[in-house]
Amino acid sequence: MELESRKAFRQRLQKEQRWAEYVRWEDKLRKAGTPKDQIRKLAAAQWPPLEQGGDPAPDPPDDEADSADEDDDKPTPTVNNTLELPELQVADFIEKKRADEREIVQWIFDHMFVTDVTPDMAPSAGAWGYLLFLRSSPSSRDTFFNTIWPKTLPTRSQLENLDKQRDNAAPLQQLIRQVLEVSREDG
Same domain, 117 and 163: no
Same domain, 50 and 4: yes
- Among 12, 36, 61, give the residue marking a domain's end: 61
For the entire predicted model, the pTM comes to 0.43
Phi and psi angles of residue 27, each rounded to the nearest 5 degrees, phi first: -60, -40
CB 30 within 8 A of CB 66: no
CA neighbor of 120 nearest in space, from 91, 81, 82, 144:
91
Q: Is 62 helix (H, G, I), strand (E, B) or coil?
A: coil
The whole-number pLDDT of residue 78 equals 47
**Helix, strand, coil distribution of the chain in percent, nearest 5:** 65, 0, 35
CA distances (Å), 182 to each of 45, 172, 174, 187, in order? 81, 15, 12, 9
121 secondary structure, DSSP code: G
Average confidence (pLDDT) per 10 residues, the chain, 187 residues: 79 87 84 80 81 51 44 45 59 75 92 87 87 87 90 84 77 81 79
Report yes or no on 87 lying in a domain.
no
Report yes or no on 173 lying in a domain.
yes
CB 101 within 8 A of CB 149: no
Report yes or no on 21 lying in a domain.
yes
Same domain, 145 and 164: no
d(CA 2, CA 177): 74
d(CA 158, CA 149): 16
Report yes or no on 82 lying in a domain.
no
Same domain, 34 and 57: yes
CB 135 within 8 A of CB 80: yes
| Number of domains into which the chain is organized | 3
Residue 92 CA, chain-centre distance (Å), reads 23
The whole-number pLDDT of residue 166 equals 75
Residue 26's domain comprises: 1-61
